[in-house]
Amino acid sequence: MNTLPSTNALQQQAEASRYALLLDWGTRVGVVALFLSFAAYLTGLLPPHVPLEDLPGLWNLPVGEFLQRTDTPTGWGWLALAHKGDMANLIGIALLAGCSLAPLLGLIPLYLKRRDHAYATICCLVAAVVLLAASGVLTGGH
């Protein structure tokens, strides 16, 4: 472990800078994708899977009933419908939900280089948990 406070501070700064850089770019890409896809959805450039006029009669339903009535897939099934305006928005949302992965993975080489195996393992585990959640295995929507 680190013994000198100044060394520790410098190391933490390096970690923070790398994490911040990757998180910043991931978030920007996600937000831009979200804006563009929502604009395409609203303007009708990409026709939606669920017609806009039908939404007020559907968004008050529990999710299970909504999916059944609109024939919307669960898990990653939406990717097959990504050319539809509403489904295209899920690309930006998925990018935002997944943009912590790159910074987490980016920290691992830094920690390994200074033999901080505990934090390298923690980063791997957090990334694994996020990936597990993203996979859809736990939600039965794979």
Partner 1 sequence: MPRLTPASLMPVLKACVAWGWLFMLPDLAFAGDSAVPGSAMPWWFWPLALFVTCFLIGIVAVPAGIGGGTLFVPIIGGFFPFHLDFVRGAGLLVALASALAAGPFLLRGGLASLRLALPLALLACMSSIAGALLGLALPAAAIQTALGVIVLGIVVLMLVSKKSEFPHVPQPDRLSSALGIHGVFIDGASGRSIDWQVHRTPMGLVLFLAIGVMAGMFGIGAGWANVPALNLLMGAPLKVSAGTSGLVLSLVDSSAAWVYLNRGAVLPMIAVPSVVGMMLGARLGARLLHVLKASIIRRMVIALLLFAGIRALLKGLGIWA
If you write DSSP's letter for every residue of 69-113 in order, what string do you get? HHT---GGGGGGGTTSHHHHHHHHHHHHHHTTHHHHHHHHHHHHH
Chain-centroid distance, C-alpha 114:
29
Which residue pairs from 70-79 have beta carbons closer than 8 angstroms and sit at least 24 positions apart in sequence?
Answer: 73/141, 74/136, 74/139, 74/140, 74/141, 75/136, 75/139, 75/140, 75/141, 75/142, 76/136, 76/141, 76/142, 77/141
Binding track, positions 4-33, relative to partner 1; x by CB under 8 A: -x--xx--xx-xxx-xxx-xx-xx--xx--
Nearest approach, Cβ of residue 112 and partner 1 (Å): 15
- Nearest residue (CB) to partner 1, 53 versus 113: 53
Asked if residue 100 binds partner 1 (CB under 8 A), the reply is: yes
Nearest approach, Cβ of residue 84 and partner 1 (Å): 10
Indicate which single residue of 79, 80, 112, 118 sits in contact with partner 1 (rule: CB under 8 A).
118
> Where on the chain is the footprint of partner 1 (CB under 8 A)?
1-2, 5, 8-9, 12-13, 15-17, 19-21, 23-24, 26-27, 30-31, 34-35, 37-38, 41, 52-57, 59-63, 66-67, 72-76, 86, 89-90, 93-94, 96-100, 107, 116, 118-119, 122-123, 125-126, 129-130, 132-134, 136, 138-139, 141
